[in-house]
Amino acid sequence: MNSAISACGLTKSFGSVHAVQKVNLEVRRGEIYGFLGCNGAGKTTTIRMLLGLIRPSSGEIAIFGESLRTRRCAALSKIGFLVESAKAYPNLTVRENLEVQRRLTEASKGAVEKSIELLNLKEYADRKSDHLSLGNLQRLALARALVHSPEILILDEPANGLDPAGIIEIRRLLRNLADAGTTIFMSSHILSEVDQLVDRIGIIHRGCLVEELNHDELGKRKRLYIDLSVDQPERAEAILREKLRLNAITRPGERSLRIADAGAKSSEIASVLVKAGIGLDRLLPVDEDLEAHFMRITGEEA
């Protein structure tokens, strides 16, 4: 079986609030799956259901083909996780925190030192966790998630609190883990980082999975925009609609236009506007990145 995580009809309601609605998703073995959504979209609720922390109102979850409902302990033993915020026992050192986790997960005796080395925590190994910076506390949380060499990692904002060098370091770590066969399911608000790292993405919006595609498909679906800055935006828009039959025109700013029509040509746009006596301050073709794609799909465009 190639599926590491699968969910079918996953639904969670809190009274009259439908947090997650009939979500079907599949995460394949050894891939990095980016799970994206705005605040309140249902990301964390979905993750907590995948980890057995809350029960679905309906639907089924399987980990490597084993039902989370009937084989909960066996399924969860294969997962390491970091959800919402990094936590540790404040009066224990980094090494002691990891030793507690090692015993809970029945990992080998060398697992603690391996995790310390993997997350570059050797300098802080004997420091109590309440004296760690936010970034090093995040490293400790990741080390705890990895101490038993899980087959699946479920991570909610894994780069939280890290400086740019730390973000790059964690990106490399996650890529290396995936290349070695670990399945990674992660959510993040740093969409530029997700764009560089993931093999597939799923976008959840208002509790529904509205898009799921691999990285190559994402590249094909991204749009090419033409951004303009003009002195008469309303007149410019009317002229472009009339003369060039352009319809996908939006107004992201007071003096700006954005054109998303396929086949729109910068030279024709510039020529038509200049001939009409419209002052053209800027004309810039822009390739849509993951952030812009996400904002368009979720209806959050400016």
Tens digit of each residue's pLDDT (9 = 90 or more) over 124-148: 999 999 999 989 999 999 999 999 9
Mean pLDDT of the chain: 90
User: DSSP string covering 61-93, please?
Assistant: EEETTEETTTSHHHHHTTEEEE-SS----TTSB
Please report the pLDDT score of residue 221 as a whole number. Answer: 64
One domain for residues 192 and 258: no
Distance CA 214, CA 270 (A): 36
pLDDT at residue 53, rounded to an integer: 92
Please name every residue paired with 282 in a beta bridge, in sequence order, or none if there are none.
229
Hunting for tokens 């909960």 — which residue is that?
Answer: 72
Q: Is 35 helix (H, G, I), strand (E, B) or coil?
A: strand
Asked if residue 110 belongs to a domain, the reply is: no
Task: Determine the structural domain holding residue 228 and report its residue range.
Answer: 222-297
Sign of CA dihedral 124, 125, 129, 134: positive
Residue 170, domain member (yes or no): no
Residue 46 counted as domain residue: yes
Instruction: Look up tokens 């009066």; give the residue.
Output: 91
Do 207 and 238 lie in a common domain? no
255/253 Cα distance (integer angstroms): 6
Decide if 283 is inside a domain: yes
Kindly report the pTM of this predicted structure.
Answer: 0.79
22 falls within a domain: yes
- For the stretch 45-57, what's the b/e string if a residue is b when 16 or more beta carbons lie within 10 angstroms of its beta carbon? bbbbbbbbebebe
Note whether residue 88 is domain-resident.
no
Q: How far apart are the first and last CA of the chain?
A: 43
Percentage of residues in the chain with pLDDT exceeding 90? Answer: 66
Q: How many domains does the chain have?
A: 2
In-domain check, residue 112: no
Both tokens assigned to 182? 């670990």
In this prediction, residue 300 carries a pLDDT of 66
Q: CATH number for the domain including 208?
A: 3.40.50.300
Residue ending a domain, among 216, 237, 256, is 216
Tell whether 191 is covered by a domain.
yes
Q: Which of 176, 184, 145, 141 is nearest to 161 (CA)?
A: 141
Given pLDDT bands bounded at 50, 70 and 90, which one contains residue 223? low
> Does residue 173 surpass a pLDDT of 70?
yes
Report how far residue 20's alpha carbon sits from residue 18's, in angstroms, rounded to the nearest whole number.
Answer: 6
My answer on whether 8 and 37 are in the same domain is yes
Q: Do 227 and 199 share a structural domain?
A: no
